[in-house]
Amino acid sequence: MSVHEWQELTTTEMAGLVDAGTVAVLPLAAIEQHGAHLPLSTDLDIGLGLLEAAAARLAPDRNVILLPPLALGSSLEHADFTGTLSLLPETAIAVIEALGEAVSRAGIRRLVLFNSHGGNKAVIDLAALKLRARHAMLVVKANYFRFTPPAQTLPAEELRHGLHGGALETSMMLHLAPDKVRVARLADAVSEGRIREQAGSTLGPEGDAGYAWMAQDLHASGVTGNATLADAETGRRLVDHFGARLAQVIEEAGEFDLDTLRQRHPASG
């Protein structure tokens, strides 16, 4: 399997390795509060765990280079809780752009931004488009929490409202890093979104017309979801499933027809 870590290559090794099908993958995460039961490293731990699961599934001839993970993200929505480290959104966009530019300079035109933190979505959208416009790159935005989860793992209501530190994240942490989970502190943090939905409201924190929220708006603890539903076996199934989907995304990025990334039409001036 041709999966390499960017920082472990020499400059001459990388120059000889890169070809037209090379895919670079940039893991994007966050260091932020996840309540009393999960560590600040939760998003990073999950992201790296899913990437490891994906790497094991890639075709042997797939040429992939993994960039060092960007551990700090845009975590404004969690900034009022102790321990959260956050980049300004403008800074996060600039960092992703700078790393994408370095990928382009290395001769790589295929970049997968693999994200494990919800607050990064907006900055990734903007950075990806800017990289496409400036460097004619394929930039794939892969947010694992937007992948369809495996059937019959967690209740649909929990998947809708367990946005942060709920059963999904806690289950994966029980599988990937069980020693980091404070199991005595697991609780059911009922989201304001769930309460509004049960009252018949169609306006919530997420959905087709969501409102901007800080973590404490959804629950005073900063957590939303029922972590007591979590278990390691569910976490294993989630990691295997999401890892397989990520592997598929990387494979398809390597096969993508770059000729469809067309240059500016002459009539545009």
pLDDT single digits (tens) 213-237: 999 999 999 999 999 999 999 999 9
Q: Which domains does the chain have, with CATH numbers?
A: 3-260 (3.40.50.10310)
Q: Judge whether residue 175 has pLDDT over 80.
A: yes
Predicted model pTM: 0.95
Query: Does residue 267 have a pLDDT over 90?
Result: no
Q: Judging by DSSP bridges, how do beta strands 188-189 and 225-226 pair with one another?
A: antiparallel
φ, ψ for residue 242, nearest 5 deg:
-65, -35
Averaged pLDDT, 89-94? 98
Statement: residue 2 has pLDDT above 90: no
User: Sorting pLDDT into bands at 50, 70 and 90, what band is 264?
Assistant: confident
* 263 pLDDT tier (thresholds 50, 70, 90): confident
Strand partners, 84: none
Direct distance between the N- and C-terminal alpha carbons of the chain, in angstroms, rounded to an integer: 45
